């Protein structure tokens, strides 16, 4: 039961956190900077991820790290798919004229995705270490 609840919370938090990449693509607003919107989405995802970590019966921080790495991967796939679609000249015929001009080189999107993936890797790497063993030990 705890594992199922933990997985559901990780999926919900990861889904919300992966939308940070798309929010980072949006054009700047006059009143709200892009970084603030990215921070709001990350803060909204944090309780789900924290609750999933605390209810996990296994290696909690390693599972959170794995979730963050998967989330960053999904965000990169979403960005690549959007770039392939919006930058294709043939697709421009089917798009409305009032469509947003997405910035695929946005620092908010790039930095947030790298932080999610890199932080996830660090959590996963430190969470999977077994005490008393050194890296490279094969047990012989």
Instruction: Specify the residue for token string 């009032």.
Output: 98
Two structure tokens written together for 1: 């039961």
Cα separation, 5 vs 26, whole angstroms = 33
Structural tokens at position 115:
């932080």
Please state the pTM of the whole predicted model: 0.83
Q: What is the pLDDT of residues 3-15, one digit of tens each?
A: 899 999 999 999 9
- Among 66, 18, 22, smallest CA distance to 42 is for 18
CB 57 within 8 A of CB 64: no
pLDDT digits (tens, 9 = 90+) for 1-55: 888 999 999 999 999 999 998 888 887 777 888 888 889 999 999 999 999 999 9
């Amino acid at each position: 039961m705890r594992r199922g609840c933990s997985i559901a919370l990780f999926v919900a938090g990861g889904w919300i956190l992966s939308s940070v990449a798309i929010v980072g693509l949006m054009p700047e607003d006059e009143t709200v900077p892009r970084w603030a919107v990215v921070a709001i989405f990350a803060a909204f995802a944090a309780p789900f991820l924290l609750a999933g970590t605390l209810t996990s019966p296994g290696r909690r921080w390693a599972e959170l790290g794995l979730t963050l790495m998967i989330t960053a991967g999904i965000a990169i796939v979403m960005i690549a798919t959007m770039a392939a679609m919006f930058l294709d000249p043939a697709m421009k015929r089917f798009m409305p004229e009032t469509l947003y001009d997405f910035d695929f080189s946005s620092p908010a999107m790039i930095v947030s995705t790298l932080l999610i993936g890199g932080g996830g890797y660090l959590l996963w790497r430190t969470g999977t270490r077994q005490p008393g063993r050194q890296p490279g030990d094969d047990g012989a």
